[in-house]
């Protein structure tokens, strides 16, 4: 079965709106695992708009496996090397964006990404690169030694028509097949929700893990975190 990593950034977004102690990020992680999630993902952004350093330290002590999404900036890499989470997913980061807007341009910064991937792998961290389903980027991910790629499903999720959605699914499928043939593991995520996740599960082969955040946290407002995760796990299981 495809594994579900639940991204709990927006539990922290709500907390930071009041700079308060609630909602509790660790509790949301525990409830996600109780609902059937296979792991927890958080993005430690350079501007610390939601997840804080203390969250990452605490989650890494209490939660397994923790997947840390992060930019390849030296400040954040230093933190990852100290904390040593189970997994790291390198993402591009722009300060003004609302969320991660595109995949990492690995081919344009091979030297820097190569260096960061080796530093992380040397500490035993499983490294994934968040990229668009583009042949050049998948080959570059292989070249720098990434264990996984995480295919960016945002363009698929934002497609307005069925034909555009199908076109994007095809790109994701071809990308996944290429990565698999190169021996690189495949994860996927971004913009997935209770309507569109099933198509990805059914039509994109070789996916080992989906990372889903916003839609689960949004549903949790009404049904609770555990139930929201259970509902998503059911979709993934019933593919």
Binding mask 52-81 for ligand PXP (x = CB under 6 A): -----------------x------------
Identify residues 114-143 at the interface with ligand PXP (CB under 6 A): 130
Of 7, 60, 71, 176, the one binding ligand PXP (CB under 6 A) is 7
Identify residues 198-217 at the interface with ligand PXP (CB under 6 A): 211-215
Least distance (Å) between residue 201 CB and ligand PXP: 15
Least distance (Å) between residue 24 CB and ligand PXP: 19
Binding mask 27-56 for ligand PXP (x = CB under 6 A): ----------------x-------------
Active-site residue flag, 69: yes
DSSP per residue over the chain, as a string? --EEEEE-HHHHHHHHHTTSS-S-HHHHHHHHHHTT-SEEEEE--TT-SS--HHHHHHHHHH-SSEEEEE---HHHHHHHHHH--SEEEE----TT-SS--S---GGGSHHHHHHHHHHHHHTT-EEEEEE-S-HHHHHHHHHTT-SEEEEE-HHHHH--SHHHHHHHHHHHHHHHHHHHHTT-EEEEESS--TTTHHHHHHHSTTEEEEEE-HHHHHHHHHH-HHHHHHHHHHHHHT-
Catalytic residues, by residue number, are: 43, 69, 190
Binding site for ligand PXP (CB under 6 A): 7, 9, 43, 69, 89, 91, 99-100, 130, 150, 189-192, 211-215
């Amino acid at each position: 079965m495809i594994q579900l990593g639940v991204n709990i950034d927006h539990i922290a977004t709500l907390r930071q709106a009041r700079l308060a102690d609630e909602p509790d990020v660790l509790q949301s992680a525990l409830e996600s695992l109780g609902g059937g999630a296979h792991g927890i993902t958080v993005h430690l952004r350079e501007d610390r708009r939601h997840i804080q350093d203390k969250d990452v330290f605490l989650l890494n002590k209490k939660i397994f496996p923790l997947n840390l999404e992060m930019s390849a900036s030296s400040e954040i890499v230093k933190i990852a090397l100290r904390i040593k989470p189970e997994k790291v997913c390198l993402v591009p980061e722009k300060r003004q964006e609302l969320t991660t807007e595109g995949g990492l341009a690995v081919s344009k910064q091979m030297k820097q990404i190569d260096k960061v991937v080796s530093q992380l792998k040397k500490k035993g961290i499983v490294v994934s690169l968040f990229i668009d389903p583009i042949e050049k980027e998948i080959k570059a991910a292989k070249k720098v030694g990434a264990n996984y790629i995480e295919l960016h499903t945002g363009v698929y999720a934002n497609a307005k028509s069925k034909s555009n959605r199908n076109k994007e699914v095809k790109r994701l499928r071809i990308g996944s097949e290429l990565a698999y043939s190169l021996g690189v593991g495949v994860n996927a995520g971004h913009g997935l929700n209770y309507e569109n996740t099933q198509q990805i599960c059914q039509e994109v082969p070789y996916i080992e893990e989906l990372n889903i955040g916003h839609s689960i946290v949004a549903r949790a407002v009404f049904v609770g975190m555990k139930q929201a995760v259970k509902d998503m796990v059911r979709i993934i299981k019933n593919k």
